[in-house]
């Protein structure tokens, strides 16, 4: 079964960003327009003609300089859970990419991905933290603090280029693609040059990869699949089976679906765990209102980002022959990253973290 045409184009463009091939060269004149506009916007903020707005509590922004997923959401989840385990009350703001509407909206237990975005819904489920989405992250932060005035810190998921939001720490995430071909959008993956300094007083670089993939000094994180959980059990918060212990029922090769920036990464992870799959790559943030896998499929494995868009009862009614499994993802930065993060936070929070340790 072939992926949808829009997914095929997205994969072709992502592949083109890894090298300076024909497509990248064809798009290079547009990059010559994009980069000066990005630099001009930064300059206007530096000169004070545009102003950043500060929230009453410290802000930590997680983002990247390349288009597509470099591991921002797993990083956000790891940071929130780490700080929660040290006694801090943490909230999250996000744009909610792909959602309907732009006004502030709180992510609740009954929220739908199409209303709040798939990544904010996943963050809320994995952390239990209060999450609020809005196109304007300053507005989102103010509304979240109005609802949750006891918060000690706000983490902004995917807001590195949202310069209107003042922040205390920028966390820059790269994956194994690094800076790709080194060119700006749309000829390459860069939203801004790799060497630009962060917008916060402190910039931390975290590599969601086995080794650093740019010249910037930083720390590493370990990414691995945890469990395969039946879809209904995942929604109910129940455990599943360790990935390396899972075996498909019957002789049919299982399918794997991934509506993420780099679907092949997910398929490769399953293969390394000993699960040979038939990959079904979809565009990032793909809408799963139309179930895209064949009705005769008996086993399907999906990412957590896709699972938040699948209702177990609806899937069971429309695809009764398919058992859907959710592959959980565990991401853990090296201990050195936590030391750097603690040191980058304002003094009152550093003292509380020191006491908690």
- The percent of residues above 90 in pLDDT, for the chain, comes to 84
What's the pLDDT at 3? 40
Going by pLDDT thresholds of 50, 70 and 90, the confidence category of residue 2 is very low
Reading the block at residue 88, the tokens are 């801090």
What's the pLDDT at 7? 56
The residues that bridge with 170 in the sheet, in sequence order, are: 61, 203
303 neighbors 260 (Cβ within 8 angstroms): yes
Where in the sequence of the chain do the CATH 3.40.50 domains occur?
A: 46-221+332-356
Alpha-carbon span 241 to 230, nearest angstrom: 9
For residues 201-222, average pLDDT = 95
DSSP-derived secondary structure letter, 116: H
154 neighbors 67 (Cβ within 8 angstroms): no
Segment 44-63, tens digit of pLDDT: 999 999 999 999 999 999 99
Query: Is 250 or 77 the better-scoring residue by pLDDT?
Result: 77
268 neighbors 281 (Cβ within 8 angstroms): no
Query: Is 27 or 4 the better-scoring residue by pLDDT?
Result: 27
* Four-point Cα dihedral 142, 37, 203, 195, nearest 10: 170
Q: Residue 193 in 3-state DSSP?
A: coil
pLDDT at 10 over 90: no
| pTM summary value | 0.92
Q: Which of 354, 298, 303 is nearest to 327 (CA)?
A: 303
Question: What is the C-alpha radius of gyration for the chain, rounded to an integer number of angstroms?
Answer: 20
Reading the block at residue 91, the tokens are 């909230």
Per the prediction, the chain carries an average pLDDT of 92
What's the pLDDT at 68? 77
Determine the angle formed by the axes of helices 72-85 and 118-127, rounding to 10 degrees. Answer: 30
Q: Which spans in 258-334 are helix H?
A: 263-272, 304-307, 312-318
Q: Could you give the C-alpha distances from 188 to 13, 71, 238, 294, in angstroms and in order?
A: 9, 18, 41, 34
Segment 299-333, tens digit of pLDDT: 999 999 999 999 999 999 999 999 999 999 989 99
Alpha-carbon span 194 to 65, nearest angstrom: 7
46-221+332-356 classified as CATH 3.40.50: yes
Q: Is the peptide bond before 186 cis (omega within 30 degrees of 0)?
A: yes
Going by pLDDT thresholds of 50, 70 and 90, the confidence category of residue 9 is low
pLDDT at 267 over 60: yes
């Amino acid at each position: 079964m072939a992926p949808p045409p829009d997914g095929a184009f997205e994969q072709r463009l992502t592949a083109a960003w890894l090298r300076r091939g024909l497509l990248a060269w064809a798009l290079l004149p547009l990059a010559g327009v994009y980069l000066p506009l990005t630099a001009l916007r930064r300059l206007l903020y530096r000169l004070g003609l545009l102003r950043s707005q500060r929230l009453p509590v410290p802000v930590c922004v997680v983002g990247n300089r390349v288009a597509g997923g470099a591991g921002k959401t797993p990083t956000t989840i790891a940071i929130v859970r780490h700080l929660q385990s040290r006694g801090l009350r943490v909230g999250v703001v996000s744009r909610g990419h792909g959602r309907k509407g732009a006004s502030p909206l709180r992510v609740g237990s009954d929220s739908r991905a199409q209303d709040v975005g798939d990544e904010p819904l996943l963050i809320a489920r994995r952390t239990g933290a209060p999450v609020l989405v809005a196109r304007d992250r300053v507005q989102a932060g103010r509304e979240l603090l109005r609802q949750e005035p006891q918060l000690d810190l706000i983490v902004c998921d995917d807001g590195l280029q949202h310069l209107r939001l003042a922040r205390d720490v920028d966390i820059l995430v790269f994956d194994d693609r690094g800076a790709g071909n080194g060119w700006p959008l749309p000829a390459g993956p860069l939203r801004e040059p790799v060497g630009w300094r962060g917008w916060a007083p402190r910039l931390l670089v975290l590599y969601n990869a086995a080794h650093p993939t740019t010249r910037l000094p930083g720390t590493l994180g370990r990414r691995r699949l945890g469990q395969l959980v039946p879809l209904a059990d995942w929604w109910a918060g129940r455990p599943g089976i360790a990935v390396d212990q899972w075996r498909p029922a019957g002789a049919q090769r299982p399918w794997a679906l991934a509506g993420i920036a780099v679907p092949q990464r997910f398929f490769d992870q399953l293969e390394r765990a000993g699960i040979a799959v038939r990959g079904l790559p979809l565009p990032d943030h793909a809408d799963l209102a139309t179930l895209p896998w064949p009705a005769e499929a008996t086993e399907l494995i999906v990412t957590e980002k896709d699972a938040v868009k699948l209702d177990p009862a609806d899937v069971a009614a429309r695809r009764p022959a398919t058992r859907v499994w959710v592959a959980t993802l565990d991401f853990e930065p090296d201990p050195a990253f936590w030391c750097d993060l603690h040191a980058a936070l304002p003094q009152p929070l550093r003292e509380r973290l020191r006491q908690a340790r």
